[in-house]
Structure 1
Amino acid sequence: MTTLTIASVQYGLGSRNGLTGIESAEHYWDGLASTIKEAAAQGANLVVFPEYVTAHLLAFTPAMSNEEACEYLDSFTAVYEKFFLEQSRETHMIIVGGTHICKEHDDYVNKAHMFFPDGRVETQNKFHLTPEEKQRWKLRGGNALNMIDTEWGKVAILTCYDIEFPEIARIAAKKGAELILCPSYTDTAAGYHRVRNCCQARAIENQFFVQLSGIVGSMSEPRPQIDEGHCQAGVFSSCDFPFPSDGILGVGTVNENMIVYTTIDFAQLRQNREHGIVAPFYDRRQDLYDREELDL
């Protein structure tokens, strides 16, 4: 199988299931289940929720400090894992349940989870933490890249700020990744464009697919940890044969609560690597880079 249909979720913080915001944990999980059911009905193979998707659970609680919020969100970890495992098994789709704040050893981490219908769960801690995550959330960054095997090939997850660092994406490419998943949460237009532009740059540099999902809209009652989001989810490729000249395979409507469906073909990716006009993945000058680094 060479084609994969991805459902990239632009997750709205506003009206869900006919109500303004969410009013309970049950309402929150019902909203996620409705989104997953819609994706399954559209024939998706892979659903990708955004970074900090479970932070929406703060909507119906009093405002908390970041320390309190970490403990509160971690209390949902078992429920979160059980929910997405059941949804994956029932729908026969792979589901990236966005990222979730959970405790690992003695620290809290921002962890992406990828759930498979056969019960397998793959995880990836966010590597590069933003100043807010380091200074206010007091999170710990990841130290190991998980190369995830799927029936379509190898996949890696680079969460939001991670995509702004070309080194980790190149490592993933050299290890065989043909698809990067980038769940994100950006609360300004500038933050979104940094992530979006870097998604496209990484796709060009490494001649692989990059997928982006994110949070949109605003909370009816903002919380210190999450208040509003900006995103235009989508999937991107190299700007070269046989792909579109702008490298955009599919994008949503800016800041609209929706799912973006994109079908990608890994046979085309191999065509690009073999017959593209340029080959930035293969033409890199490692001898030059190593020498210049030593000269610094």
Structure 2
Amino acid sequence: MITLAACQYHIDLLETWDAYARHLTTLCEEAVAQGAQLLLLPEYAGLVLSGQLPAAERSDLHASIAGIQPLVPRWLELCEQIARDCGVYLQPGSMPVLDEDGQYRNRAWLFGPQGCLGSQDKLMMTRFELEQWNIAAGSELNVFDTDLGKLGILICYDNEFPMLARGLAEQGADLILAPSCTDTAAGFYRVRIGAQARALENQIAVLQSPTVGMAAWSPALDENTGRAALYVPSDYGMPANGIAAESPELSPARSQWLICQLDLDEVRRVRDNGQVFTRRDWPKQFGCVGPAKH
């Protein structure tokens, strides 16, 4: 049994590095004090760093993304230090990062007690990211082997594409971390429904962490709606609706942690002894497709 923490992360204006560092450290320590072994923050949580920029810069979409790049190394050091000091696994959300090829990519890192374990780029870009931010897609799916189990990361929109989760499952992932950032309830439910479907199809668990709140000071993080949750397959010994845990309200007025328990052995058990074998039967669907009969 492992203890997970998914944050409904309220977007607050933090205008100095010290204020931000205290905020993130205190927030993580709150989850650790409740026994959390793995902490998940949402997509673009790192963009809160743009609050440290001058008002004119942070209120400009492209200038705010460029302006936080010098802070990225310091942010990574902070996240790694929190994971080491607290002895936990930390996925602190994602942020746009400028790569050597001149392209920005939406990247999420995973840290553990031993340091940085690597990163996962978002693979499917939304219209906003493509048409307004000019953020490029990543190219690889990574699985992280941890003391808690094998983990994968699918960032927000990526959860709406079955083959991505299938790729992680085939690499051995038992738990997918789904950091998300959605401005409308419809956007949140698209990701939620996708995450639940990926748990069902692959007979794995998916943990979702969303942004919440209003941030008029940021054109990137202006409106945020979401609910943190842990999804599992609907099967013997699992919740009938596939929701193992969820935060009590949609978009609270402050950051809140969903603390929940997950037994990965039980999730694996349904693959061998479930009512259905969606994971095993996946390839059969291709064999069943034939020409239409007239």
Give the TM-score, by structure 1 length: 0.91
What SS is found at the alignment partner of 1:260?
strand
Residues 238, 79 of structure 1: CA spacing in aligned structure 2 closer, same or farther, 3 A cutoff? same
**Could you say which residue in structure 2 is the equivalent of 1:200?**
196
User: Residue in 1 aligned with 2:286?
Assistant: 288
Structure 1 CA distance for aligned equivalents of residues 165 and 56 of structure 2: 36
SS of residue matched to 1:37: helix
Q: Paired residue for 1:17?
A: none
For 1:43-62, what aligned pairs fall within 5 Å after superposition? 43-59=35-51, 61-62=54-55
Deviations 1:145-173 (A, max 9, x none): 11111123211100000000011111111
Q: Does 1:170 align with 2:170?
A: no
Post-superposition Cα deviations, 1:8-49, rounded to whole Å, max 9, x if no partner, equal: 0111125xxxxxx43323212211111111111111100001
Answering whether residue 281 of structure 2 is matched by residue 251 of structure 1, we say no
CA, structure 1 residues 150+290, in 2 after alignment: closer, same or farther (shift >3 Å)? farther
Matched, 1:72 2:67: yes
On the 8 A contact 1:63/1:224 being kept in 2, the answer is no
Work out the percentage of aligned pairs sharing the same amino acid: 32
The answer for the alignment partner of 2:274 in structure 1 is 276
Can you list the C-alpha shifts for 1:216-273, whole angstroms capped at 9, x where unaligned?
A: 1112x33211112111101100011110101111111211230001110011012211
- The equivalent of 1:108 in structure 2 is 104
Q: 1:135 aligns with which of 131, 138, 153?
A: 131
Taking a change above 3 Å as real, the CA distance of residues 289 and 127 of structure 1, as seen in their structure-2 partners, is: farther
Partner of 2:8: 10
Distance in 1 (alpha carbons) for counterparts of 2:38 and 2:2: 8
Say if 1:238 and 1:226 are closer, same or farther in 2 by CA, change over 3 A. same
Q: Which shifted more, 118-127 or 202-211?
A: 118-127
Shift of 1:289: 5.4
Shift of 1:292: 5.7
* Structure 2 unmatched runs, 5+: none
Task: Give the conservation status (yes or no) of the 8 Å contact 2:2–2:37.
Answer: yes
Verify the 8 A CA contact 2:50 2:65 in the aligned structure 1.
Answer: no
1:182, 1:211 within 8 Å by CA — same for their partners in 2? yes
Q: Does 1:189 align with 2:182?
A: no
**Residue 34 of structure 1: which of 5, 23, 26 is its match?**
26
On the 8 A contact 1:192/1:230 being kept in 2, the answer is: yes
TM normalised by structure 2 equals 0.92
For these two proteins, the number of residue pairs brought into alignment is: 284
Pick one of 24, 45, 52 that aligns with 2:16.
24
Is contact 1:13-1:228 (8 Å) kept? no
